A and B are shown apart, each in its own frame.
Chain A
Amino acid sequence: MLIWVLRVCATLSGAIIILILAFLVLESLPALRHAGLAGFFTDASWHPTENLFNLLPMLWGTVLAMTGAVLIATPLGILSAVFCHYYAPPVIARQYRRLIELLAGIPSVVYGFWGLVVLVPLIGRLHPPGPSLLAGVIILAIMILPTIALMADAALANVPVQYLRGAHALGLSRWATVRGVVFPAARSGLYTGVILGAGRAVGETMAVLMVCGNVVQMPVSLFDPVRTLTANIALEMAYALGDHRSALFVSGLVLMALILVLVAAAERFAQNHIHV
């Protein structure tokens, strides 16, 4: 009996993913047929009502915003977890963990709103116009920081206590233990946290839409506005018709491909359970 319940549950969850994929492909077909897959990467610009569908600047926008956020949030997240585990007094560590958990629970639109009314005008005073890749990177970094910190925290907690005792017996300093023993042992968990954070950064829509400026262009500096693939769908779906609508589904498909790459990477790191 139980086995059948389990089978039905598994089939349902699997079927949902397959259905979504099939739906995405089906809805993308009209645009793919008219413009050709190459058109989405070689057209002169993104002006879907004039039948120009270049997604490349937005793919770059997504990748750059994600990379920037990961570069900022990874050291912050991992080092804060290290602080929590090996340096902070237990009372502070507990409160600190609570705070990070709270940070993880704040809805993204709150970050976006804060970014729009505080961060963007601030950047605008520094270097107009204000809504920019930099604003997106900062907001995303704040958003994925708790994900990375909590995953790193869990990974550090999983390091066998014998390792630490061994390091202690060898007379290693605390930092040397962290660097030479804890990091290699917890490596796969740390990587997984970073990739989960990256996935969240790629998928984020509202906050990015509010602070990035959404101009479709290759950014030359951090102060240039960019549009991400997710923002593109959210901005234009309400009024898109025909091929334009279909082209937005292609944006979704490209986004799925990007996530697929991230998941594959996560899988690879998760398999590396070698404790050096």
Chain B
Amino acid sequence: MRLRHVLLAAIVAALSGCSSDEDETSIVLTGSSTIAPLASELGKRFEALHPRVRVDVQTGGSSRGIADARSELADLGMASRALYEDEHDLKAYTIAYDGVGIIVHRDNPVRKLTDKQISGIYTGEIANWNEVGGRDAPITVVNKAEGRSTLELFLEYFTLESSDIEADVVIGDNEQGIKTVAGNPDSIGYVSIGTAEYDAGQGVPIKLLPLSGVDASTANVRNGTFPLSRPLNLVKKTRPQGWVRRFVDFARSPAARNIVTSQFFVPIAQ
């Protein structure tokens, strides 16, 4: 009998010992797989700054992020799009922008393409550059591998299905896409604007084509005029408090800038 009491007391003491340690918290983020790698990098840096905080990132798509934020299953939802009309009960905090630019070789005489021409090229209806004002050469279509967020955004903008695309080359990451286009004067591809702008500035022979008359630049992605782009949002039902607020503030601070650019996203204006 006495032994049992002692045990019980020990357990109670142990449990209260855990809960009294108030600084030991975890922040749970769920949602978009586009934001997840960025969020977990931000989380790592945040954990290094605040050793008592754990940042837990789970994927499942933007819709799960919205749903979990609404039901408060997660501390923060991740949504790689702007909020819809019926979602304004939630608060969105943009931590970065994702922009996709169409690239061709620098020596390609084509200066611009309409949206219809681009989707024509990617579905195989347009197979030669001379059909869109270029020289007489077959077009090499460079596409992204299935599951990549750039592919997703590209398909959504041009309202295409993945199976509609007739590709000549399929690439993985942005750098491989840029190297492929730089090595083939008759190719066309699409990559994250941040990477393309940086590489073009470093003398890699590629150029970004404007879309609907708007230049593809990180500046235009940031000010929202470039059409093939989207905000990366952290969403929450109520105004964030405590550690969650500090995490959101950190993600939007100048300190997070280099993490954002290292993931090929465009940082928000400071």
B183 adjacent to A244 (CB under 8 Å): no
User: Whole-angstrom distance between the alpha carbons of A117 and B145 in the complex?
Assistant: 21
A128 adjacent to B147 (CB under 8 Å): no
Query: What per-residue 1/0 map shows which CB atoms of A42-57 lie under 8 Å from chain B?
Result: 0001111110100000
B33 adjacent to A239 (CB under 8 Å): yes
A124 adjacent to B184 (CB under 8 Å): yes
What would be 20 A-B contacts, judged by CB atoms less than 8 Å apart?
A: A47-B163, A48-B146, A49-B146, A50-B163, A116-B180, A116-B183, A124-B183, A124-B184, A130-B140, A130-B169, A130-B183, A210-B176, A214-B170, A214-B172, A215-B169, A216-B170, A225-B170, A236-B146, A236-B147, A240-B147
A214 adjacent to B169 (CB under 8 Å): yes
The verdict on A49 contacting B187 (CB below 8 Å), with A129-B168, A210-B176, A235-B170 known, is: no
User: Whole-angstrom distance between the alpha carbons of A216 and B187 in the complex?
Assistant: 18
User: Whole-angstrom distance between the alpha carbons of A131 and B33 in the complex?
Assistant: 29
Chain A contact residues, CB within 8 Å of chain B? 45-50, 52, 116-117, 120-121, 124, 128-131, 209-210, 213-216, 225, 227, 234-236, 238-241, 244
When distances are taken between beta carbons in the complex, the residues of chain B under 8 Å from A120 are: 180, 183-184
The verdict on A239 contacting B148 (CB below 8 Å), with A117-B183, A130-B183 known, is: yes
Q: How large is the interface on B (under 10, 10 to 19, 20 to 34, 35 or more residues)?
A: 20 to 34
Residue B63 at the chain A interface, CB threshold 8 Å: no
The verdict on A215 contacting B167 (CB below 8 Å), with A128-B138, A241-B33 known, is: yes
Q: For residue B179, which residue of chain A has the nearest CB? A: A116
CB distance from B236 to the nearest CB of A (A): 24
Within 8 A of A (CB), among B135-171: 137-138, 140, 145-149, 161-163, 167-171
B163 adjacent to A131 (CB under 8 Å): no
B184 adjacent to A129 (CB under 8 Å): yes
B146 adjacent to A131 (CB under 8 Å): no
When distances are taken between beta carbons in the complex, the residues of chain B under 8 Å from A216 are: 170
When distances are taken between beta carbons in the complex, the residues of chain B under 8 Å from A130 are: 140, 169, 183-184
Q: For residue B166, which residue of chain A has the nearest CB? A: A215
Kindly list 11 other residue pairs between chains A and B, CB separation below 8 angstroms, not including A45-B163, A234-B172: A116-B179, A116-B180, A120-B184, A129-B168, A210-B176, A213-B170, A214-B145, A215-B167, A215-B168, A236-B146, A238-B148
CB distance from B145 to the nearest CB of A (A): 4
User: Whole-angstrom distance between the alpha carbons of A213 and B140 in the complex?
Assistant: 11
A49 adjacent to B147 (CB under 8 Å): yes
Residue B59 at the chain A interface, CB threshold 8 Å: yes
Residue B186 at the chain A interface, CB threshold 8 Å: yes
Q: For residue A130, which residue of chain B has the nearest CB? A: B184
When distances are taken between beta carbons in the complex, the residues of chain B under 8 Å from A235 are: 145, 170, 172
When distances are taken between beta carbons in the complex, the residues of chain B under 8 Å from A45 are: 163
Q: For residue A245, which residue of chain B has the nearest CB? A: B147
User: Whole-angstrom distance between the alpha carbons of A50 and B170 in the complex?
Assistant: 18
User: Whole-angstrom distance between the alpha carbons of A121 and B169 in the complex?
Assistant: 13
The verdict on A121 contacting B184 (CB below 8 Å), with A213-B169, A215-B169 known, is: yes
Q: For residue B148, which residue of chain A has the nearest CB? A: A239
When distances are taken between beta carbons in the complex, the residues of chain A under 8 Å from B187 are: 129
Of the candidates B137, B145, B176, the one whose C-beta lies within 8 Å of that of A236 is B145
User: Whole-angstrom distance between the alpha carbons of A227 and B162 in the complex?
Assistant: 17
When distances are taken between beta carbons in the complex, the residues of chain A under 8 Å from B138 are: 128-129
When distances are taken between beta carbons in the complex, the residues of chain B under 8 Å from A129 are: 138, 140, 168-169, 184, 186-187
User: Whole-angstrom distance between the alpha carbons of A128 and B168 in the complex?
Assistant: 9
User: Whole-angstrom distance between the alpha carbons of A120 and B149 in the complex?
Assistant: 27
Q: For residue A52, which residue of chain B has the nearest CB? A: B163
CB distance from B123 to the nearest CB of A (A): 15
